[in-house]
Amino acid sequence: MRDVDRGGTDGRRRAPGELESHVLATLWAADGPLTAAQANERLPGDLAYTTVLTILSRLLDKGLVTRQKAGRGYAFTPVRDEATHTAEQMRSLLDHGSDREAVLSRFVEELSADDERLLQRLLGEHGEDKEP
């Protein structure tokens, strides 16, 4: 019998990278390295062990996790913290856009008032670091 992941519990197909994101979030939330079995226990839904192992192997191939020997298998650890990973994704998306100003403008327009204030504060602090 073949292990087939048909998507979420509602039968819909998962978005590309959704399982990888869930597995990474599980690793970030952990106090230390997790084996595939430990990650599987903490993931929502009813994923097959082999599915989780495949996702971890893909994350390893992409350089997003490292592994260390743990018993007969391996335990996995994310290479970067969640904030760094997300910031790198945002930067990559920005770099691939054809109109940087339009993308940044739209991003700022979509921010909540609290997030906009936070961004202004962070930009102010960052600008102070560049002063001579």
Residue 125: HSE in the Cβ half-sphere, 13 Å Cα cutoff: 6
- Domain count across the chain: 2
Residue 85 domain-assigned (yes or no): no
Residue 12 domain-assigned (yes or no): no
Which CATH number does the domain housing residue 33 bear?
1.10.10.10
d(CA 85, CA 5): 26
Do 58 and 29 fall within a single domain?
A: yes
In the chain, % helix, strand, coil (3-state, to 5) comes to 55, 10, 35
Q: Which residues form the domain of 32? A: 18-78
User: CA angle 7-9-11, nearest 5°?
Assistant: 55
- Model confidence pLDDT, tens digit, residues 59-107: 999 999 999 999 999 999 999 999 999 999 999 999 998 999 999 999 9
d(CA 68, CA 79): 12
* Predicted TM-score of the model (pTM): 0.74
Q: Is the confidence at residue 3, as pLDDT, over 50?
A: no
| 84: its two tokens | 């760094």
Do 29 and 69 fall within a single domain?
A: yes
